[in-house]
Amino acid sequence: MVFFLVTCVAMVPSPFLAYGEAWCILVGLDGSRSWMATAFAVALGQTIGFGLIYVFGSQLIGRIARLRRALDTLDVERFREKAPWFLALGALTGVPPHLAMCAVAPAVGVQLGRLMALTLVMRSIRFGVLAGAPNRFSAYFGTDWLPTWLTDLI
């Protein structure tokens, strides 16, 4: 349980650093931990991180002129009706970048609760695949080829 709590907390900054995917693959390959619980812990941590980006994204946009100009050219009304689809697609695939979508979401009127629910569900699916596939095939590949310092983290 402590492992999954630490994983969740460690994943809060991962939207900026992109190490959640690698962690899911590593834990899935190892097979000693539940890949489903790991996927959910990573998804929950990233959801919290994306929620913080939602809350503080307007300050970030205000400080970076390039982002401010990009937001000024955005057709808010057109984007507003498609925002949930873009958010769901970005959370699942990373295209469009979910980080940018979360920063822009308040400007187009997406509620925080909706963003968090979409992000949690879609990121759980994403990380479930990334942790489950290596777990399924770990019997064929094993973890003998991984450095010991890396396997010691698990």
CB-CB contact of 57 with 106 (8 Å): yes
If pLDDT is split at 50, 70 and 90, which confidence band does 21 have? very high
State percent of the chain over pLDDT 90: 55
Rounded to an integer, the average pLDDT of 22-50 is 94
Helix-strand-coil split of the chain, %, nearest 5? 80, 0, 20
Rounded to an integer, the average pLDDT of 31-54 is 95
Give CA–CA dist 28/107, Å, rounded. Answer: 38
pLDDT tens digit sequence for 62-93: 788 887 787 788 888 888 889 999 999 999 99
Residue 88: the pLDDT is 95
Give CA–CA dist 11/122, Å, rounded. Answer: 16
Give CA–CA dist 16/19, Å, rounded. Answer: 9
pLDDT tens digit sequence for 92-105: 999 999 988 898 89
